[in-house]
Amino acid sequence: MRLKTVFAMLLLSIIVAFAEKPDKNEEPEPDFAERAKKLIAQMTLEEKVSQLSYTSPAIERLGIPAYNWWNECMHGVARAGKATVFPQAIGLAAMFDREQMSRVAVAVSDEARAKHHDFVSRGKRGIYQGLTYWTPNINIFRDPRWGRGMETYGEDPYLTGELGVRFIKGLQGDDPKYLKLVATAKHFVVHSGPESERHRFNAEPTAYDFLYTYTPHFEKAVKEADVYSVMCAYNSYQGTPCCGNVELSSLLRDQWKFKGYIVSDCWAIKDFYDKSAHAVVPTKEEAGAMAVKAGTDLNCGDTYPALVSAVKQGYITEKELDVSLERLLIARFKLGLFAPKGEVKYENIPYSVVDSEIHRLLAQETARKSMVLLKNENKTLPLSKSLKRIAVIGSNADDLEVLLGNYNGFPANPVTPLQGIRQKMPNAEISYAPGCKLAEGLPIFEAVPASVLYADAGLKTQGLNAAYFNNLDHAGQPLKTRIDANIDFIWETTAPFKDLNADAFSVRWTGFLKVPETGKYALGGEAFSGMRLFIDGKKVIERFDVHHPKKEYEYLDLVAGKAYEIKIEYRQENTDYPIMRLLWEKPQKDLMQEAISLAKEAEVIILCMGISPLLEGEEMKVKVDGFSGGDRLNTNLPATQTALMKELKKLGKPMVLVLLNGSALSVNWEQENIPAIVEAWYPGQAGGSALADILFGDYNPSGRLPLTFYKDISDIPAFIDYNMKGKTYRYFGGTPLYEFGYGLSYTEFEYANLSMPAAISTGSEITVSVDVKNKGDRDGEEVVQVYLNRDGSLEHAPLKSLVGFERVFIKKGETKKVVFKIQPKELFTVTASSQKVVQPETILISVGGAQYSKARQDQKKVMSKQLVMKGAAVVL
């Protein structure tokens, strides 16, 4: 490591250590509740209501500044410009590493605090600039078809709860007086698709599944992490929309003693009266009143302004509004938003932490820990560094989108798999070809080049006429005009000109497009925050969405030599990373033949396949077979990719498959025919470097699957079925392709001396220990997993359940004793009367590393012992 890097790390650690040290002489915490009550007493009804929406305006006469409650930091500070981007949440889960989750969360919250204070210093208090973060998503990834599953910590409530607690604590900080950030556990409580039905769907799981699968991790978030915010879900639960469901808010506040505030999912309250959604009430006033009375304090959306008339019409009282408003003001006090300058220790975090070298190194370490070695036949991996000719093939090899996932920030120096391999092997010839489309109907984009754009009808001046306006609406005279060669701009935190308002400007480009060959073109763009595209006066694309920036496109039949009039309008609205790119895909040449030609000359083929955040995600408009509304219709790898790999297989070359995706894939042919497979997820900004470290042996892979990879989607029940029977490793009775907890290593671990009591009393802690030896020839980390198996006599009982895990580094030849303390709350079952109890019974405790999968009929190295729990049942 360079001396400069070491010095930077040392300096930053000193700064952070100083900032984190509590002041022993600080005054007792003021009564935030009393201060909130005094402010509320001075407000008019209109002022009170204004503070219940996510865009809360200033009340200057009371010294209340404007505040926007919406922010995201799922795997790094999102949508607010430069930030360190860690692996997507599903990749974080694959680490099975509590300590690393804590380190990531602290880094993210450091950047969040630094960015907030920088924004405020510039007078910016808009969306994605506050301290209230709508993270983490701890829903259970119960079905691999759900497009948002990548945002979760997988299919197991124990793993989700353990990692969620660490992430929440890391975000909220350890100060006894002030919160570092507010974290938000979402989406409460039974929510996991389908995306297309989420505004009207009614989830009706069994009482057993509600208590055993859908709520334990939320309960941990409240009781163990003191999460200060919970977001209610779009869908209904047992016939009532979650954000208007008194039963759910009572569970939070009365049973679990939740002390924070509840925020609606965005525009979820609108669904209460929208005739195409839940439509449980006829008006905005009744919808707002219903939500507030059910405990939803803050509205992400535009319904709560109607609460003024709701009070006047008698649907709700002003006193009932005061309850929610008090909770929200207390949260702002606890964040130090009204504190004197210098009183909150987190103000000391310097802006230099943002995408700092320390955080970049942490992102690389995290990405390495997240990747899972699924297959390594005949020790194909690691690859030799003496290789001279390597073919890297696949659309995901050099795509920034698959590094970043969704809900992401923008790193300064991202490294794609192709770049990472080239950096790792500077003396080798690394050839690249996409080989095929990622999926039929999904273009391979590139910027529209200047050579086909013209500013005049005579096609004599190349480029496009650009008019830059100091407003959002392209109104009046432009501030600047010029000819831009093409449209491929990332302005980051600046505007194209110094005298242009960086937070509110618009651009209009006009001219002509002349294509070189007749055929079908995908034409579109990427804009953050909004764009329109017109061809010959017809609007082709319109997208204005600061929340979910995505590429938009349409397929058009264009004729060579014809001049098409083109107009593009862009709007930048308070976005800290303005982007405008005019993109296309030309009629495709023979992509497969290009890849085969390169592969013939290579010593090894590295395939970068999978899917993309352009295909799976939140409520998306996807026009690709196998995908719908952001969800997946099946778990197959798109046929374009398997067809290419089958042709490459005929060359007889060594092949390594790297999967980049956010959900399970049924790679059945690939498992049978490709000797080495690595699951890399959406690995964040350092994904390419981390992958190269693993492929070439500089890091021993140690990730584990946080979800089941099924052989076929027909193996499990329907997507809309919220009962757990037949889904996830706990209830799936078939043979998976790869099971939950599975992952290989370049070394081999051996288990011995399992120790645990033969009997305990119900309600007692169970101590389990085991010796783990690294008997291979490499140092490595093992994820030791503990499962509970019941005898099958209990109705609804899972086949097995994770009740403990530890990630342990063991040097070659070394043995370590790993000790687990299994708490009674992990041993409960549910009675017919819906009580959570630990009852007398005989259970089986199994300990192992899940390195060997029954899917390949290999013997798993697992040790098991029976344990008898005696005594009376203990109600939890």
What's the CATH code of the domain at 84? 3.20.20.300
Residues 392 and 420 occupy one common structural domain: yes
pLDDT in tens, 190-203: 999 999 999 999 99
Q: Does 694 share its domain with 755? A: no
Is residue 554 located within the same domain as residue 616?
no
Active-site pick, 265, 488, 679, 693: 265
The whole-number average pLDDT for the span 46-60 is 98
Give me the number of domains the chain comprises: 4
- pLDDT-derived band at 3 (thresholds 50, 70, 90) equals very low
Beta-carbon neighbour count of residue 624 at 10 Å?
17
Residue 4 pLDDT more than 50? no
Cα–Cα nearest to 154, from 86, 95, 207, 228: 95
- Residue 470, in any domain of the structure: yes
Domain boundary among 353, 374, 406: 353
Name residue 507's beta-bridge partners.
Answer: 468, 570
* Chain centroid offset of residue 73 CA: 8
Same domain assignment for residues 576 and 686:
no
Find the catalytic residue in 162, 286, 365, 616.
Answer: 616
Gap between the Cα atoms of 394 and 81, Å rounded: 29
Which of helix, strand or coil describes residue 119?
helix
For residue 742, being part of any structural domain is answered with no
- Same domain? For 368 and 347 the reply is no
* 198 in any annotated domain: yes
151: annotated active-site residue: no
- How confident is the model at residue 855, as a pLDDT? 45
Tell which wins on pLDDT, 851 or 377. 377
Residue 606 placed within a domain: yes
* Domain extent at residue 764: 749-875
Q: What pTM does this model have?
A: 0.95
CATH number of the domain bearing residue 805? 2.60.40.10
Q: Which residues contact 386 (CB under 8 A, 6 or more apart)?
A: none
| DSSP string of 445-504, one letter each residue | -EEPPGGGEESSTTS-SBSEEEEEESSSS--SS-SEEEEES--EEE-TTS-SSTTS-TTE
Same domain, 768 and 669: no
Instruction: Please tell me whether residues 430 and 458 are part of one structural domain.
Output: no
**59 vs 50: CA distance, rounded Å:** 9
> What pairs with residue 664 in β-bridges?
none
Write the single-letter amino acid at 181. L
- 322 noted as active-site residue: no
Confidence grade of residue 492 (pLDDT, cut at 50, 70, 90): confident
Distance CA 427, CA 745 (A): 27
In terms of DSSP bridges, do strands 530-535 and 564-573 run parallel, antiparallel, or are they unpaired? antiparallel
> Pairing mode, if any, of strands 261-264 and 229-232?
parallel
Residue 738 lies in a domain: no
pLDDT band at 528 (very low <50, low <70, confident <90, very high): confident
Half-sphere exposure for 73 (CA within 13 Å, toward CB): 33
Task: Tokens 């080989």: give the residue.
Answer: 435
pLDDT recorded at residue 28: 39
The stretch 8-17 carries a mean pLDDT of 40
**Of 289, 252, 248, 249, nearest in space to 269 by CA:** 289
Establish if 743 belongs to a structural domain. no
**Res. 850 pLDDT band, cuts 50 70 90:** low
- Per-residue pLDDT, averaged over 221-245, amounts to 98
Which of 558, 585, 612 is the last residue in one of the domains?
A: 585
Residue tagged 């009997």 (tokens): 759
**In this structure, are 336 and 214 located in the same domain?**
yes
Do residues 655 and 552 share a domain? no
In whole angstroms, give the CA distance from residue 377 to residue 856: 12
Residue 701, amino acid = P
Do 102 and 242 lie in one domain? The reply is: yes
Answer whether residue 493 is part of any domain: yes
Q: Give the chain's mean pLDDT.
A: 93
What are the pLDDT digits (tens) for 246-299?
Answer: 999 999 999 999 999 999 999 999 999 999 999 999 999 999 999 999 999 999
Question: Looking at the domain assignment, is residue 739 inside a domain?
Answer: no
Q: For residues 128 and 159, state if they share a domain.
A: yes
CATH number, position 647: 3.40.50.1700
CATH code of the domain containing 568: 2.60.120.380
Claim to verify: residue 498 and residue 598 sit in the same structural domain: no
pLDDT over 90 percentage in the chain? 89
Question: Among 743, 753, 746, 740, which residue's Cα sits nearest to residue 777?
Answer: 746
Domain boundary among 353, 380, 408: 353
